[in-house]
């Protein structure tokens, strides 16, 4: 494989009031849009119409959206324009289109969670907290996005809605379970999308689709009014095409929420103003051992380039990472099965058979084994937190390979043929297992991008984002233009 950096495209940007702006690979960032809308150089309604036109034009190829909320989006955009015309603040994301994984409650829509069964639910009476906070910041919701059934997926291949397709090669996976989120942002349909990450479902699509993704610290962002998978692992977070946009969305969504028992009581800790701070004093290390032996050459190359750019010469060992992955699997499948027992009893034939079988297997895991996994989790968390006494950032692969082909069942990893679906998340699971904050950054290799994890200690999203911003400014990481559109 020929591994090289393409140059990051740049072009002069016109900010005329009625421009058919293309937010995405050949257009404006979320920050650009918000500045232009706030400055009345373009209208929120014009931006929204352009986003809806992009979706109509390209989504038949990408299959990222399951629902397009056009009327709602136009109404919100008109409200943003009216507020600005009246001299009021419209928020830091004024007029920015965004979309959400369809496990977020969206007022007026049943919350599909990628399933056939949930389509029979009544429409949600209220939006998820994170949607409310994005819209309070001026963002405009344009739709809900395709995902793996009940979030139990790493490939983005949904049997009910069809697979989401990679914007760089539509014969390849987007990754999952937030596949539509990755495809929509990677394909330039929207500048920001929201997804969920239980074992890697933000970081895997970020890696395969060549975009930035943030899995915050467990409990940092509210999960209220989103469909759960594994409550003790579930995180919600943003995708974007730049670190600045990722930080803007993250800042807009922070804050305590009594509707989510796991949400921290810590006050919001905005990061956007901190991104340009020098990182010269940060202690940065490379994850060794397990994280260096289970990778294809392109993943090794991506980690090496990021490590060199950050000046990381030290390699550290994360103890028992393989066991952490195994324990994460035990807890995931057991807790997931418990959530779905009634559906498994009453509507087994309406599941994706592969998801159903994994959940049924989880229902049969002995309780003592789950207890052992939870005890190990506490031990493992303590050992990893010890590492962060002498390290600020850990660099690790996000995925072992670039995006596999749709329908690909196996790959050969370290000389062993393994199932793709079960092994895409081998490097993400040991990290989300203990809720650490991670920024996935895209290294634009040829012919396909691949992601690297920038991992920090709990509640230090600011450090991970600052490191990612430094890499972006240096041109080491960037979201490449979608090659398939």
User: CB atoms < 10 A from the CB of 232, how many?
Assistant: 15
Instruction: Confirm whether 177 is a catalytic residue.
Output: yes
207 is catalytic: no
* Among the listed residues 472, 377, 471, 482, the one whose alpha carbon sits nearest the alpha carbon of residue 430: 377
- Residue 141 has φ and ψ, to the nearest 5°, of -75, 125
**Active-site option among 43, 115, 164, 177:** 177
Contact 99, 193 (CB under 8 A): yes
Selecting among 29, 181, 201, 334, the annotated active-site residue is: 201
DSSP string, 399-427: SSSSPPBTT--EEEETTEEEEHHHHTTTT
Burial class (CB in 10 A: 0-12, 13-18, 19+), 316: middle
Catalytic residue among 29, 43, 76, 101: 101
End-to-end CA distance of the chain: 23
Q: What is the DSSP letter of 279?
A: -
Give the DSSP letter string of 358-388: HHHHHHTS-HHHHHHHHHHHHHHHHHHHHHT
CB distance 146 to 261 below 8 Å: no
Q: Please check whether residue 263 is in contact with residue 254, taking contact to mean a CB–CB distance below 8 angstroms.
A: no
> How far is the CA of 290 from the CAs of 158, 307, 317, in angstroms?
30, 17, 8
Active site residue 196: no
Q: In 3D, which of 259, 282, 254 has the Cα closest to residue 270?
A: 254
b/e burial code for range 61-79 (CB count within 10 A of at least 16 → b): ebbbbbbbbbebbbebbeb
Q: Catalytic residue numbers?
A: 101, 177, 201
């Amino acid at each position: 494989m020929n591994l090289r950096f393409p140059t990051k495209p740049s072009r002069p940007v016109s900010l005329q009031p009625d421009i058919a702006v293309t937010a995405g690979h050949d257009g404006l960032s979320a920050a650009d849009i918000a500045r232009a809308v706030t400055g009345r150089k373009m209208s929120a309604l014009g931006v929204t119409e352009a986003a809806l036109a992009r979706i109509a034009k390209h989504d038949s190829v990408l299959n990222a959206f399951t629902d397009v909320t056009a009327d709602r989006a136009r109404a919100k955009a008109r409200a943003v324009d009216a507020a600005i015309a009246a001299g009021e603040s419209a928020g830091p994301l004024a007029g920015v289109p965004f979309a959400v994984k369809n496990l977020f409650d969206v007022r007026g829509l049943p919350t599909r969670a990628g399933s056939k069964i949930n389509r029979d639910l009544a429409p949600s009476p209220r939006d998820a907290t994170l949607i409310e906070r994005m819209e309070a910041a001026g963002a405009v919701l344009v739709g809900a996005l395709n995902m793996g059934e009940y979030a139990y997926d790493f490939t983005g291949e949904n049997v009910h809605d069809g697979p989401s397709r990679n914007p760089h090669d539509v014969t390849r996976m987007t990754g999952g379970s937030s596949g539509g989120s990755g495809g929509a942002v990677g394909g330039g349909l929207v500048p920001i999308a929201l997804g969920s990450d239980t074992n890697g479902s933000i970081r895997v699509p970020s890696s395969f689709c060549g975009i930035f993704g943030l899995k915050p610290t467990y409990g940092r962002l509210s999960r209220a009014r989103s469909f759960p998978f594994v409550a003790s692992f579930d995180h919600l977070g943003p995708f974007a095409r730049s670190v600045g946009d990722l930080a803007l969305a993250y800042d807009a969504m922070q804050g305590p929420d009594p509707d989510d028992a796991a949400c921290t009581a810590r006050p919001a800790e905005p990061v956007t103003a901190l991104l340009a701070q020098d990182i010269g004093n940060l202690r940065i290390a490379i994850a060794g051992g397990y994280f260096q032996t289970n990778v294809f050459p392109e993943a090794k190359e991506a980690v090496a380039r990021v490590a060199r750019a950050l000046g990381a010469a030290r390699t550290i060992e994360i103890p028992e990472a393989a066991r952490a992955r195994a324990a994460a699997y035990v807890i995931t499948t057991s807790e997931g099965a418990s959530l779905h027992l009634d559906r498994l009893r009453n509507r087994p034939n309406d599941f994706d058979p592969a998801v159903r079988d994994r959940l049924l297997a989880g229902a049969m895991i002995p309780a003592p084994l789950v207890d052992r996994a939870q005890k190990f989790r506490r031990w493992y968390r303590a050992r990893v937190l010890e590492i962060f006494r002498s390290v600020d950032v850990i660099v690790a692969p996000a995925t072992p390979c670039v995006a596999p082909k749709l329908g690909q069942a196996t790959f050969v990893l370290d000389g062993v043929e393994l199932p793709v679906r079960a092994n895409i998340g081998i490097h993400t699971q040991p990290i989300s297992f203990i809720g650490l904050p991670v920024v996935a950054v895209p290294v634009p290799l040829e012919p396909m991008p691949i992601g690297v994890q920038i991992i920090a200690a709990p509640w230090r999203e600011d450090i991970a984002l600052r490191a990612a911003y430094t890499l972006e400014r240096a041109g080491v990481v960037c979201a490449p233009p979608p090659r398939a559109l």
